[in-house]
Amino acid sequence: MMNEQGHRKRFLDQVCLEVRSKDMHDDIREELSGHLEELIQDRQAQGYPQAESEVWAVAQMGDPRSLGKTLNRVHKPRMNWGLLGAVLFFAALSLVMMLSVDSNPASAMQGWSFFRNQTYYMIIGLILMLGLYFVDFRKLQKLAWPLYIGTLIGIIVLYSGGTTINGVAFLILRVVHFPITLSFLTPFLCIALAGILTGSKESFFASVRYRRWIELLIVAFPLPLLAMFHSLPELISYSLIALTVYVWCTRQWQWALGLASVLVAITAVKAWNTPSFVERFQGAFDPNAHATTSGYMYIQIRDVVRSAGWWGHGFANLPEYLPYPHTDMLPVYLVYCFGWAGGLLLLGMVLWFTARLVKALHLIRDPFGKALVLTLGSTLVIRLLYGLSIMSGKMVLSSIAFPFLSYGGHVIMEFAAVGLLLGIYRRKDMMPTAPFHPIK
């Protein structure tokens, strides 16, 4: 004869057999057991014995296989089609712009094709994106500390052994001829921070005060290393993202505000005492007064954008005085070719991309997954908005590449980041809610 809980166990086993997401089995068993227990108690209150009440309660739950199939549909993998669509749009637009540059006789380079090389980068990036879509992102949390330490070592190696051209330090991996830059390394720092700050606190000191100091130190330690490169945009970008993740994970906004105040003061003093920084700011905010020096490029940007009109000058047309249309000036070149309408379309897609990330952030329940979306999403959105701001002719120019669109190997890492974001979204309904308690 079956014991008093035999019917319940067999019912739960049959339900879970239909649910492919094994991570959800414990949650499903707990929830259904709670419903069964309520039914059993109600039945017993009417005077029925335990064994008969359990058989009755199981019967009230319906067919276990049908219920299991319903739950399997609820907890199946998901695709963020809106986010994927925006990224594929950016990729297609990038190839169109590279082909436009290549098609202009004035920009043709013997034996060189921006379109062909960008296509190679895109293919590699798409393969990485597809692979990371199926990778369980939770494994990254176990690698948080090695990733943090390894990235710091990489920054030191880049500073000591890298080559600097036009203010950008890079190190060539000769095996694959891939340039490692500071903008390539800093996102790994932020990923490591997300893993460390949402991970177990057992490795820290027992005292809450010491924990606060240690976590803040982990965030602040890379700042002097980044400052060695004299790359203000990268320093600002890391500071914004790292402090945002720190506040979200620890809820210690007062500590973050204090660190931010110190950073702003130090950065302002450093910029004020660096002639090259002062000159670049003056050129951006008062280009007419520096028309032949630091303000020249800003005047050219304004003239190019104003001359575009609503529909632009057409495919393969190249402004005479606009350098680097395939990289730094690609947003401006896009407006020159396709007009203000093209610029508004790009703005709309950037806003759509941002909105999809914000929605994903609210739907994902796993704390580490949320922190990763916040980290990677903020990195991409900040760079996209910066690229758009260049078209105003008021933003200080820097070496930050426009994600997904501008020419270069950076698109490989950007597609990889999207693959990780899509993988997190894929598992949003396949995982139980992990407990997360910020330090108070």
Residue 201 and residue 190: Cα distance in Å, rounded?
18
Residue 13's DSSP bridge partners are none
How many CA atoms, within 13 angstroms, populate the side-chain half-sphere of residue 227? 13
Residue 438 belongs to a domain: no
Of 40, 74, 108, which one is at a domain's C-terminal end? 74
Give whole-number Cα distances, 190 to 81, 162, 280, 378, in Å: 26, 22, 28, 10
State whether 136 and 280 are in the same domain: yes
Give whole-number Cα distances, 40 to 27, 108, 392, in Å: 20, 79, 68
Residue 295 belongs to a domain: yes
Concatenated DSSP letters for 311-330? T-S-TT---TT---TTTTTH
State whether 122 and 53 are in the same domain: no
Tell which wins on pLDDT, 218 or 5: 218
Residue 53 belongs to a domain: yes
Q: What is the mean pLDDT of the chain?
A: 83
State whether 229 and 372 are in the same domain: yes
Residue 241's DSSP bridge partners are none
pLDDT of residue 67: 82
Compute φ and ψ for 172, nearest 5 degrees.
-90, 125
Please report which confidence band the pLDDT of residue 13 belongs to, taking 50, 70 and 90 as the band edges.
confident
User: Could you list the residue range(s) of the whole structural domain that residue 121 is in?
Assistant: 81-426
Q: Look at strands 163-165 and 168-173 and give their pairing.
A: antiparallel
Residue 427 and residue 404: Cα distance in Å, rounded?
25
Residue 99 belongs to a domain: yes
Of 74, 93, 109, which one is at a domain's C-terminal end? 74
State whether 334 and 235 are in the same domain: yes
Tell which wins on pLDDT, 166 or 231: 231
Residue 173's DSSP bridge partners are 178
State whether 241 and 279 are in the same domain: yes
State whether 378 and 260 are in the same domain: yes
CA gyration radius for the chain?
27
Residue 431 belongs to a domain: no
User: pLDDT of 325-335, one tens digit each?
Assistant: 888 889 999 99
Name residues whose C-beta falls within 8 Å of residue 304's C-beta, 6 or more positions apart in sequence.
319, 322, 332, 333, 335, 336
Asked if 390 contacts 104 with a C-beta cutoff of 8 angstroms, the reply is no
Structural domain tally of the chain?
Answer: 2
Name residues whose C-beta falls within 8 Å of residue 177's C-beta, 6 or more positions apart in sequence.
none
Q: Which two tokens stand for residue 296?
A: 């020249």
State whether 176 and 34 are in the same domain: no
Residue with token string 């057999």: 17
> Given a cut of 50, is residue 421 above it in pLDDT?
yes
pLDDT of residue 437: 41
State whether 107 and 57 are in the same domain: no
pLDDT of residue 161: 62
Q: Which two tokens stand for residue 331?
A: 């947003």
- Over residues 154-178, mean pLDDT: 59
User: pLDDT of 198-211, one tens digit each?
Assistant: 876 555 545 566 77
pLDDT of residue 5: 60
Residue 381 belongs to a domain: yes
Report yes or no on whether pTM surpasses 0.85: no
pLDDT of residue 178: 57
Residue 274 belongs to a domain: yes
State whether 63 and 91 are in the same domain: no
User: pLDDT of 234-247, one tens digit each?
Assistant: 888 888 898 889 88
State whether 170 and 259 are in the same domain: yes
> Given a cut of 90, is residue 417 above it in pLDDT?
yes
Residue 188 belongs to a domain: yes
Of 74, 94, 113, which one is at a domain's C-terminal end? 74
Q: From edge to edge, which strands make up the β-sheet containing 163-165?
A: 163-165, 168-173, 178-181
Residue 227 and residue 427: Cα distance in Å, rounded?
38
Residue 190 and residue 258: Cα distance in Å, rounded?
20
User: pLDDT of 54-84, one tens digit each?
Assistant: 888 888 888 888 887 887 777 788 899 999 9
pLDDT of residue 167: 47
State whether 23 and 159 are in the same domain: no
State whether 108 and 57 are in the same domain: no
The percent of residues above 70 in pLDDT, for the chain, comes to: 88
